[in-house]
Amino acid sequence: MESIKQNVGLIVILGATATGKTSLAIALAKHLNAPILSADSRQVYRNLDIGTAKPTIEERQGVPHYLIDIIDPDQTLTLADYQDQAQTLIAKFHREGVTPILVGGSGLYIKAITAGLKIPRVPPQPELRSQLEELGQNYCYQVLQQVDPVGATKIHANDQIRTLRSLEVFYVTGQPLSEQQGEQAPDYPIVQIGLDCEDLHAYRKLVGDRTEQMLNQGWLDEICNLQKLYGADLPLLRTLGYGEMSDYLAHKTDLATATELTIIHTCQFAKRQRTWFRGSGNGNLPIHWLPTGSNWEQAIALFK
């Protein structure tokens, strides 16, 4: 196993939600005596535990976990913030002669590390965004075409989020976003292992079972606690699962409907994840695909 550590700088376990990434990563980490770095855009937030399928305290025993519970739900963690913290940790482990395991389903988080995305260090500018929003999307897009014609060709005319971000970066830095983007891949070898369930009926059952398990674990109480701490209008409470269950708690629907909608929306989200990982969104690194439920021994065989 020492040869694995020496020849690989980073092990990535990725795939759609509910495909068993956490259990495989923990088993592999125990076998390799490796730390785990989360690549989940919601597990970084404290108090969002059950609904994000965050590894439990018991599961984390004996395996150091990082990039989990690093920020409060009412604060902002940018992609650049995440990349900085992850790259710092990876460099630290490499100095110690350790190969970390990056695990998650947030494609952009993973690509930020594996492709070395160059991300402008411009935090959100609420006041500027508000002013731009008042001008309307049509006008803002026309401005973008003037200040960043190259970047504008990559953004749909109706894509307000990316239009505003591009203008935000331009007005803060004085440079077009397209000139500040790019990639600088790491100089260490990376092995990517993907988990997937090709049987969509079986996958829907996996999602349904996990949703029921979350409810049995006290997911609704978790949401109520978040509402008390941060208010019912907390943006994270409108994300996948939390939004549907929040509607139930607000008496906008019944629990059966909220549960069914959570399952449907999760399956739709998983489809988008698969498209990302199997398409250009993942970059040029190959992915070694394994079926859901694969064990660490099957993962280890990919290194040989």
The domain spans of the chain are 2-119+182-197+277-303, 126-180, 200-272
Give me the pLDDT at residue 296, please: 85
The predicted structure's pLDDT at residue 288: 92
Angle at 112 between CA 64 and CA 76, to 5 degrees: 75
Between 302 and 185, name the one with better pLDDT: 185
Decide: helix, strand or coil at residue 65: strand
Residue with tokens 């979350």: 214
**Please, which pLDDT band fits residue 302 given cuts at 50, 70 and 90?**
confident
Domain 126-180 class in CATH: mainly alpha
Which carries the bigger pLDDT value, residue 293 or residue 236? Answer: 236
Most confident of 65-79, 150-164, 282-296: 65-79
Mean pLDDT of 180-194: 90
Q: Give mean pLDDT, residues 228-233.
A: 97
Tell me the β-bridge partners of 13: 103, 193
User: Tens of pLDDT along 242-264?
Assistant: 999 999 999 999 999 999 999 99
* Class of the domain covering 200-272: mainly alpha
Whether the pLDDT of residue 278 is over 60: the answer is yes
Identify the helix (H) or strand (E) that includes residue 66.
Answer: strand 65-66
Angle at which helices 242-249 and 255-278 cross, to 10°: 170
Give pLDDT, residue 304. 65
Burial of 302 per CB tally in 10 Å (0-12, 13-18, 19+): middle
CATH level 3 topology of 2-119+182-197+277-303: Rossmann fold (3.40.50)
Computed over every residue of the chain, the mean pLDDT equals: 92
The reported pLDDT for the residue numbered 2 is: 39
pLDDT at 5 over 90: no
33: nearest Cα among 296, 246, 290 = 296
Residues 6+ apart with CB under 8 A from 245: 51, 219, 220, 223, 258, 262
Q: What is the pLDDT of residue 35?
A: 98
Separation between Cα atoms, residue 193 and residue 303, nearest integer Å: 10
Per DSSP bridges, beta strands 117-118 and 182-183 are antiparallel
**Entry pTM:** 0.86
Of 140, 94, 109, 99, the residue nearest 40 (C-alpha): 109
pLDDT confidence of residue 281: 57
| pLDDT value of residue 280 | 61
Q: Answer yes or no: is pLDDT of 6 > 70.
A: no
